[in-house]
């Protein structure tokens, strides 16, 4: 980044908490990635919008939540990272609507819904990402997905303007939304839920978490499911069919517990993971004819 002094002066003028040269490996579930030269930590939508407006046109801006579906380049990113994380995680219940700041964990949102006796969000219990990330990619599991329960999303656009998409305006499809491919920062998400039996909600959450613990390699850093589900098949089944469980490149490995997960065994680099992805895609294509599309987002 060439204009360090200018960006530093802007960050100081905004009044938003910020840090310099922050290793992004600390903020992704893969535990991989180099530094960001500037790392902003807003507490409100208005503060995030002010930051984007002040920096617009002067530097690349990237929004980051829990980093659970993200692979960051080893050399880091030449950008200002706006982290909607721990400082941006309030959750409120308003009748049968759950309103969450985007940095709230899915587990925190699910726990709030359960405490309020609100159902239909149980599928998200144990998904490691943030509410904003889940809304961005239409996260789903065990027959449920965000498109079924999101009422609206508030965002900051590329110019720093605050806006909102409601209902069908979100244009949800499999692992996609209207936000896909756009550099918008989702700042709040509202879930429209239904009254339910608190004990039944808790039992369902417990059941799903047990299934996750038994089937997924939660003991290793990863970004969850590495590949999207190809039409007519399942990525994990194809990878296992090709005998790729345990395939390793450097510190990156195809999980022996769940072949849909590529894991960091302790010292994996972004380059390791990308090469392992390439090898898996090539072997699956050659042996089955299916093309696996990467679900994990690459930030470089």
pLDDT level of residue 85 (50, 70, 90 thresholds): confident
- CATH of segment(s) 91-201: 3.30.465.10
Task: Compute the average pLDDT of residues 25-30.
Answer: 96
Mean pLDDT of the chain: 95
Domain 4-83 in this protein, CATH class = alpha beta
pLDDT at 39 over 90: yes
pLDDT value of position 128 = 87
Cβ-count burial of 28 within 10 angstroms (0-12 exposed, 13-18 middle, 19+ buried)?
buried
Indicate the burial class of 42 (C-beta count within 10 angstroms; 0-12, 13-18, 19 or more).
buried
In the set 105, 119, 222, 225, the catalytic residue is 225
Burial classification of residue 21, based on how many CB atoms lie within 10 Å of its CB (0-12 exposed, 13-18 middle, 19 or more buried): exposed
Does 91-201 match 217-299 in CATH topology?
no
Residues 20 and 38: beta-carbon distance below 8 Å: yes
Q: Does the annotation count 285 as an active-site position?
A: no
Assign 171 a pLDDT band (cuts: 50, 70, 90). very high
Q: Do you know the residue count of the chain?
A: 300
The pTM (predicted TM-score) of the whole model is 0.92
What are the domain boundaries of the chain?
A: 4-83, 91-201, 217-299
- Does 175 participate in catalysis according to the annotation? yes
Name the percent of the chain lying above pLDDT 70.
100
Pairing mode, strands 118-119 and 194-195: antiparallel
What angle separates helix 45-55 from helix 4-14, to the nearest 10 degrees? 150
Section 286-290 average pLDDT: 97
Nearest to 65 by CA among 116, 103, 25: 103
Examine the residue annotation and report whether 6 is marked as an active-site residue of this protein: no
Tens digits of residue pLDDT in 115-126: 999 999 999 998
217-299: CATH topology: 3.90.78
Select which of 31, 122, 147, 175 is catalytic.
175
Per DSSP, the three-state class of 95 is coil
pLDDT 10s digits, 131-146: 999 999 999 988 999 9
The active-site residue, picked from 17, 240, 295, 300, is: 295
């Amino acid at each position: 980044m060439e204009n360090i002094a200018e960006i530093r002066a802007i960050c100081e003028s905004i009044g938003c908490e910020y840090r310099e040269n922050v290793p992004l490996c600390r903020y992704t579930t893969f535990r991989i990635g180099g530094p960001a030269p500037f790392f902003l930590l807003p507490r409100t939508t208005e503060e995030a919008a002010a930051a984007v407006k002040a920096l617009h046109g002067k530097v690349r801006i990237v929004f980051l939540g829990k980093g659970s579906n993200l692979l960051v380049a080893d050399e880091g990113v030449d950008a200002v990272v706006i982290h909607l994380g721990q400082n941006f995680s309030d959750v409120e219940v308003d009748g049968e609507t759950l309103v969450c700041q985007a940095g709230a964990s899915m587990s925190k949102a699910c726990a709030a819904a359960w405490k309020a006796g609100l159902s239909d969000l149980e599928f998200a219990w144990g998904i490691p990402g943030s509410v904003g990330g889940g809304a961005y990619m239409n996260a789903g599991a065990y027959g449920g997905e965000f498109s079924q329960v999101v009422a609206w999303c508030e965002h900051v656009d590329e110019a720093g303007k605050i806006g909102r998409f409601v209902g069908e305006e979100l244009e949800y499809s499999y692992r996609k939304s209207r936000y896909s491919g756009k550099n918008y920062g989702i700042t709040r998400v509202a879930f429209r839920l239904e009254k339910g039996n608190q004990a039944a909600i808790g039992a369902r959450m417990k059941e799903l978490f047990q299934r996750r613990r038994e089937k997924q390699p939660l003991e290793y850093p990863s970004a969850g499911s590495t590949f999207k589900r190809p039409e007519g098949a399942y990525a994990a089944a194809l990878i296992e069919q090709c005998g790729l469980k345990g395939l390793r490149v450097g510190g990156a490995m195809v999980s022996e517990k769940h072949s849909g997960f590529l894991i960091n065994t302790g010292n994996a680099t972004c380059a390791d993971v990308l090469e392992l992805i390439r090898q898996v895609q090539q072997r699956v294509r050659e042996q089955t004819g299916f093309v696996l599309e990467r679900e994990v987002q690459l930030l470089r």
